[in-house]
Structure 1
Amino acid sequence: MASTACIPPAPAPGDAVGLRERARGALLGLAVGDALGAPAENMKPSEIRARWGRITGYVAAEPAGTDDTEYAIFSGLLLARYGSALTAAHVEAAWHEWIADREEGPFRGAGFSERGTLENLRRGLAAPISAQHRHAWSDGLAMRAAPHGVFAAGRPAEAARLVAIDGSVSHDGEGIHGGQAVAAGVAAAMAGAPTDAVVASALAVVPEDSWTARCLRRAMTAAHLGERAVRSAVVIGGYPWTDLAPEAVALAFGAYAAADGDFTEAVLTAVNMGRDADTTAAVAGALAGAARGAAAIPAEWASAIGPARGSCLPSMAGHHVLDVADLLARAAQEARTARSRASAGARAAGGDGVPDGHGHAVPTGPPGDGPVGTALPPIPI
């Protein structure tokens, strides 16, 4: 397994694919994968073939992102506001402000894990108790994990830390592990890591004996044999629910690895495997988009993605994933600059400062509304 320590903290100066381009690739790739996979959600490959043959592009008349995209925007806006200072209290307050205390859209809060969380929050339960429900193992955190990898570009461990805080309100156990794997993988891809290092970064942040890790390893063993082998190695036969985090995350990484990081092939592989196709394609799209940048996404796919409709989360209506990507890229750059200044200041002062766990020293003091050194504007909701 490759070490995450060898992954550079950010794209090197002069890198042909810069931080903003990768950020846009990650979130636009997520939205494109979501829209491509939505019609095939909960379907078997045989059902997909019977209806469309092999899906090679949008099959919906008006392609659009689902709850996956809207919850990713939610997490992206939250992270752009608080950065590394994010706490479970911030996340819980945002769930109340932007979701639980508002009227819901037609999707009524989206999947089972979100429904359980909303019911608990409305009963007055707080994190982490709010995450204790019958679907805490779902892929609902994994589908919104990519923004954490974008913000923590090149720092998989930090991405995993932040997404676990985000998930503490809604998920537990394997649900958290799935989100951590995705966030860490995107963080590695944001630094231009090769495919095997992206996968190794995901494995490095989850327990070795977890269901998520076991599924990931099985998917990687089968990836060189193609999508049928990946699906056969990972899918829980006969189980009715398709939103299992270990399964969905492994299918997404398997599709990404089988395509060796190529955006088009990775996303279409995920779509045509069926199961929770919108989420698996969204995750595969985020990984490949972060690795290759927004230019790797076919123009006809990218141009179909507009602002969120708010069909699941009315408070997210009007936000575009590209705007969120720009916010996160700016926050990541400013946080990186702040870490560099703090590290230089600590060296000049003879080592003053507090290490942040990634080889940097950060100044002490109360956290503000954003990463240290940033002055992000209020998020309009």
Structure 2
Amino acid sequence: MQIPADYIERVYAGWYGKIIGIRHGSNIEGWSYEKIAETYGEIRDYLFRFKNFAADDDSNGPIFFIRALEDSTCTEEITPKEMGEGVLNYVPWEHGFFWWGGYGNSTEHTAYLNLAHGIDAPLSGSAELNGEAVAEQIGGQIFIDTWGLVNPCDYRRAARYAAKMASVTHGGNGIYGGMFIAACVSAAFASRDVHEVIQAGLSVIPEDCQYRRMAGDVLRFHQDHPENWRDCFAFIKANYGYDRYPGACHIIPNAAVVLLSLLYGGGDFSRSINICNMCGWDTDCNVANVGCILGVMVGLEGIGKSWREPIGDLLVCSSVLGCMNLRDIANDAFYLASLGYRVAGEPYPEACRELLEGTAPRFSFALPESTHTFRALGGNCAFSNIACENAYGGRCLRAEVEAGSWPVEVYRQTYYRPEDFSDDRYTPSFTPEVFPGQTVVLRVRADRPVSLRPFAHDAYAGQNLYGEAALVEGWTLLRLELPPSDGCIQRVGVEVPAGERATVYIDYLTYEGRARYTLDFAKAGIERWTGFHTELGQTSNSKGIWEFREGAAYGSCADHGELFTGGRDFGDYRVTAHIRPQTGRSHMVMIRAQGAIRGYWAGFRGDKLVILKNRRTLRALAEAPFSWENGRDYALTVEVRGEEIRLLVDGELLLTARDGDEPYLTGCYGLALEQGSRCRILRFTVE
């Protein structure tokens, strides 16, 4: 079936609807219908205001699990086992990402440990192994929406993909729920009739399953009593309530609420998600599913600005890779759409080819309403996305800056810290999206001649770096070359002088060139969130203990531990780790790391120097005897050029390897430890 002409915008609306639903339902998750009614009465808007909304399992899963298509194969030949390897690659070990409620209690925790111990999907999530109570919790449908987004107008194919993905962590009705939601999302590209969308979703699951029987009962109740959704919820609570199902959060009661909301919302986005929130139970999950389906169905024009503006395209995640946790909803839409064209076997439309290929400027405004979380500091500024001649994608961001006593910075934040959030839900961690050594490029114009200069703020120095000012009226390129340093770039943008009232138009913002910088842990230190959540500055980790004291970072592990930093798009580069092994016999630099089970490790292992390839298991590409000692300082350098990997110790080249078997050509870097090792890390230097 041919992909619709407005596909990318509808993906954007659907993914936005998902994120809106998560935010809307998050802080009343687990509340009862009665408590919500007593506390809030009729819900019409967001219940909470956040500085910035932190991570959530309902968005982590959909945007990272879909990457199995890129990492394995973008066809229906993909297997549950390959999808399960995606879970192992992007999910940290027992922290962040989703609820770690214990083996046999949390469905995802149970399946993750099964996978980690060699039990592949679909057995990893099955009722045969884990029992029905664990296998049929809600996660099968909350992590699945993106499989509908990449299969527009082909709900049966969407359901087939979803069945494989859901089987990694779930079984039985947990899988059927995933198939239903993915099929509904897919069908919403072709129909604006809620009943048609629901029937498409139900047609892909067995007629004799509990999920289908529940849906039939809810549909019949709505047909007989179409006026009052509260009467329908009373029916659901009496017949499909939590008291009838085992486990912490069973799929059947919550799926009934999703159906109710779609039916009684009548295709209206706001009414549907508000009804869903007022029903209670697993609010963020349910409202997010409804928001995604309705977002695709009604498009951006059907989603009020009051829902979108507090988000402004920002999506925070908590995967194993900090460089992928500061996300952008508009850019995610292009990424998902690119997968959709590949799955369908259709060529990219020429008008947006670069955006889909990922070769366009990093932040352009081609999608209506997108703002890429641009903000203003130092004065008032109103932002709007408008049609714009001679702009990339035909649109740009208009920033209407009021005159004030101080210069006004129009900027994008490129690194986030604990103080930027109201809480630390699902324990996010970050790496900056731009680094010293790179060049910041903006294309701008103004409504009248005004002096503008590009800037970048170094969080560690507490000051701005500036490029050359230009008198701007017509389209102008502003460039700022960031000098190599040990700084942390926290925001970048353009500065409007004090006393100037101006309307500035931004065509795009992008970054060029290789990073050249030092991550000095004496400066990066430790970032303290809440409770026991701390992170070494500019890093994320999969497993192990990572702490800061006396001006240095320390890592240790029982079986293995990994610390990640740098950019996922780093290609050919050189990194030097200044370390002091303290205990154990395994201390290695990671390079071109693409997750927990993808990348290269090089350094000390036993009485050898090694270069290893990590593809779920470690395989030696090269090794050589080498005598090294605990308690001594070393400079371990790893250099990658194309397929070649070179290992240097204290500046001396000692080992090389070549990987001609599906090599990793990009990825971040870090440190890997094994088998009771502990290491002191002073700094990393990247060239």
TM-score of the alignment, normalized to the shorter chain, above 0.5? yes
Give me the whole-angstrom Cα distance separating, in 2, the residues matched to 1:231 and 1:276.
14
Q: Provide the residue aligned with 1:39 in structure 2.
A: 27
| Distance change (3 Å), C-alpha of 1:56 and 1:324 | same
| 8 Å Cα contact 2:151/2:343 also seen in 1 | no
Q: Does 1:105 align with 2:96?
A: yes
| Distance change (3 Å), C-alpha of 1:191 and 1:330 | farther
Give me the whole-angstrom Cα distance separating, in 1, the residues matched to 2:65 and 2:321.
15
Equivalences for residues 358-369 of structure 1 within 5 A: none
| 8 Å Cα contact 2:13/2:300 also seen in 1 | yes
TM-score, with structure 2 as normaliser: 0.45
Q: Provide the residue aligned with 1:271 in structure 2.
A: 277
Give me the whole-angstrom Cα distance separating, in 2, the residues matched to 1:250 and 1:335.
31
Letter in 2 for 1:33: G
Give me the whole-angstrom Cα distance separating, in 2, the residues matched to 1:268 and 1:130.
36
Q: Provide the residue aligned with 1:363 in structure 2.
A: none
Residue from 84, 90, 96 that aligns with 1:92: 84
Equivalences for residues 91-240 of structure 1 within 5 A: 91-99=83-91, 102=93, 104-105=95-96, 108-109=99-100, 112-131=106-125, 132-133=129-130, 134-223=133-222, 224-235=226-237, 236-237=240-241, 238-239=243-244
| 8 Å Cα contact 2:138/2:254 also seen in 1 | yes
Give me the whole-angstrom Cα distance separating, in 1, the residues matched to 2:120 and 2:176.
21
Q: Does 1:261 align with 2:267?
A: yes
| 8 Å Cα contact 2:151/2:157 also seen in 1 | yes
Letter in 2 for 1:246: I
Q: Does 1:303 align with 2:302?
A: no
TM-score, with structure 1 as normaliser: 0.79
Letter in 1 for 2:270: T
Q: Provide the residue aligned with 2:65 in structure 1.
A: 75
Long gaps (5+) in structure 2: 349-663, 669-687
Deviation of 1:321 after TM superposition, in Å, equals 3.6
Matched positions, count = 332
Long gaps (5+) in structure 1: 1-7, 341-376
| Distance change (3 Å), C-alpha of 1:70 and 1:333 | same
Give me the whole-angstrom Cα distance separating, in 2, the residues matched to 1:52 and 1:178.
30
Superposed CA RMSD = 2.8
Give me the whole-angstrom Cα distance separating, in 1, the residues matched to 2:325 and 2:109.
19
Deviation of 1:107 after TM superposition, in Å, equals 5.3
Helix, strand or coil at the partner of 1:90: helix
Letter in 1 for 2:230: R
Q: Provide the residue aligned with 2:341 in structure 1.
A: 333
Deviation of 1:202 after TM superposition, in Å, equals 0.8
Q: Does 1:20 align with 2:8?
A: yes
| 8 Å Cα contact 1:70/1:313 also seen in 2 | no
Letter in 1 for 2:95: E
Helix, strand or coil at the partner of 1:127: coil
Deviation of 1:205 after TM superposition, in Å, equals 0.4
Equivalences for residues 46-61 of structure 1 within 5 A: 46-61=34-49
Report Cα offsets for 1:28-74 as digits up to 9, x if no partner: 10111111011221111210122222222222231556211111112
Structure (1 or 2) with the greater strand fraction: 2
| Distance change (3 Å), C-alpha of 1:321 and 1:212 | farther
Give me the whole-angstrom Cα distance separating, in 2, the residues matched to 1:339 and 1:208.
37
Percent same amino acid at aligned positions? 23
Q: Does 1:251 align with 2:257?
A: yes
Structure (1 or 2) with the greater helix fraction: 1
Give me the whole-angstrom Cα distance separating, in 2, the residues matched to 1:378 and 1:260.
49
Q: Provide the residue aligned with 2:611 in structure 1.
A: none
Deviation of 1:380 after TM superposition, in Å, equals 7.1
Deviation of 1:174 after TM superposition, in Å, equals 0.3
Query: Which structure has the higher relative contact order (CA within 8 Å, separation 6+)?
Result: 1
Helix, strand or coil at the partner of 1:319: strand
Larger mean CA deviation between 214-223 and 151-160 belongs to: 214-223
Give me the whole-angstrom Cα distance separating, in 2, the residues matched to 1:292 and 1:379.
38
